[in-house]
Amino acid sequence: MDITGIGSIADLAKGVMDKFWPPEADPTERLKAEMVLQKVIESRERSVVDAQKGIIVAEMEQGDNYTKRARPTIVYAGLAFIFMVYVVLPMVSFFKGTEMPVLNLPTEFWWAWTGVCGIWVVGRTMEKKGGAGKIISLITGK
């Protein structure tokens, strides 16, 4: 793969042209169309990278340090609850020699925590891969 990305863009444009351009068409026109397609793909890739950079810069420039960590805090708090109920309390009960009452986190906890974790993971993945704009436009309708 080309470090600059130019080779991959040219290869993609050529692949698209091979697949959709009629073989009997004028080769000069095909070359012109392939060059236009390369420019469109390159422009799109540049805008994706700019959007990714903008998201990262906006996150890092937030003044409120807690807001930067809000999503991870919810995830880590959930992990702490799980650890307390299923690891610490049973160990304390074992070492004290007492019978452990049956403790389970409520179903609502699992639904909420799983939802937050899932949205966080998908959101971060989309931000890093450049698909956040599509998802946000689907949600907001803009």
Is it the case that residue 142 has pLDDT exceeding 70?
no
What ranges do the domains of the chain cover? 1-61, 65-142
Q: What local confidence, expressed as pLDDT, does residue 108 receive?
A: 93
Tokens (6 digits) for 34: 């392939």
Other beta carbons within 10 Å of 9: 19
* Cα–Cα–Cα angle for 119, 125, 128, rounded to 5 degrees: 135
Place of tokens 């007492």: 98
User: Do residues 76 and 117 make contact, with C-beta atoms less than 8 angstroms apart?
Assistant: no
User: Do residues 113 and 78 make contact, with C-beta atoms less than 8 angstroms apart?
Assistant: yes
Q: What is the mean pLDDT of residues 39-57?
A: 82
List, for residues 88-110, the tens digit of each pLDDT value. Answer: 999 998 898 888 778 888 999 99
Q: What is the mean pLDDT of the chain?
A: 78
What one-character DSSP code corresponds to residue 134?
Answer: H
Rounded-to-integer distance, Cα 66 and Cα 54, Å: 20
Q: What local confidence, expressed as pLDDT, does residue 141 receive?
A: 54
